[in-house]
């Protein structure tokens, strides 16, 4: 009789242990977090000519067209006295043959206490419009593995100089689940 009591008690304890592990397991919580949407980040910035002129803004013209290489500043506001938070650099070939090229990328580099890193914005579908919707294809630092949308709009255009045009950029960024990253 005593061995039967021990056997039944151990079967009940083993069944109870399996049920409790299934209810309170960290693996079950990870599955639930996968169904949630990843966090979004919205940023509103301005791209404008640096206050000190340099030779970095140039247009290189070839036999069939040209390429536009630029180095601009990222600021919090549209005024030239706004706080600089980073740089915008790019290489764009506006020729129809290269319009869908992977080389047409704009790099946004951030260097602030809040954000440190860079974003890559793919400029494959550039049209000569006042508003462009481009794709964010990745990033580094605080923006690692970011995906999303970048909306470029012309904020101000000075009639005297094409290079002094100010662009407003709105970023909608989505990040993968960062709780599953492998430590160091």
pLDDT (tens digit per residue) in 118-140? 999 987 666 656 778 888 998 99
Q: Are 56 and 68 in contact (CB under 8 A)?
A: no
Alpha helix segments (H runs only) across the chain: 2-24, 26-35
Q: What is the pTM of this model?
A: 0.66
pLDDT reported for residue 117: 92
pLDDT for the residue numbered 182: 45
> What's the average model confidence in pLDDT over 36-51?
80
């Amino acid at each position: 009789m005593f061995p039967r009591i021990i056997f039944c008690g151990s079967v009940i304890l083993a069944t109870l242990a399996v049920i409790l592990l299934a209810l309170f397991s960290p693996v079950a919580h990870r599955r639930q977090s996968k169904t949630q949407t990843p966090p979004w980040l919205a940023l509103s910035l301005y791209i404008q000519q640096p206050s000190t002129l340099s030779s970095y803004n140039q247009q290189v013209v070839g036999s069939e067209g040209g390429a536009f290489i630029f180095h601009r500043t990222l600021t919090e506001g549209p005024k030239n006295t706004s706080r600089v938070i980073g740089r915008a650099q790019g290489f764009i070939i506006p020729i129809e043959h290269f319009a869908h090229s992977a080389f047409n990328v704009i790099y946004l580099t951030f260097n602030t206490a809040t954000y440190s890193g860079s974003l890559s914005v793919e400029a494959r579908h550039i049209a000569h419009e006042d508003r462009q919707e481009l794709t964010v294809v990745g990033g580094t630092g605080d923006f690692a593995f970011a995906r999303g949308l970048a909306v470029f709009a012309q904020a101000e255009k000075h009639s005297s100089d094409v290079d002094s045009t100010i662009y407003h950029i709105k970023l909608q960024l989505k990040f993968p689940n960062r709780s599953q990253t492998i430590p160091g």
